[in-house]
Amino acid sequence: MAAASGPDNTPLPGTVFTPRQVRALKLAVIVMGLLLVGGFALVLGTIVYQASRGGQKAGQAEAIGEGSPALSELSIPKDTTVTALALDGSRLALYLKSAAGSEVAVIDVATGKVLARVKLKSE
Task: Give residue-wise pLDDT tens across range 91-110.
Answer: 999 999 988 888 999 988 87
Task: Give residue-wise pLDDT tens across range 48-94.
Answer: 998 888 756 655 545 455 555 554 677 787 888 889 989 888 899 99
pTM: 0.43
3-state secondary structure 25-38: HHHHHHHHHHHHHH
Phi and psi at residue 107, in whole multiples of 5°? Answer: -125, 135
Domain boundaries, given as residue ranges, for the chain: 12-52, 69-120
pLDDT at 16 over 80: yes
Q: Nearest to residue 118, comparing CAs of 106, 108, 100, 110?
A: 106
**Residues 39, 49: Cα–Cα separation, whole Å:** 15
Q: What is the pLDDT, as a whole number, of residue 31?
A: 98
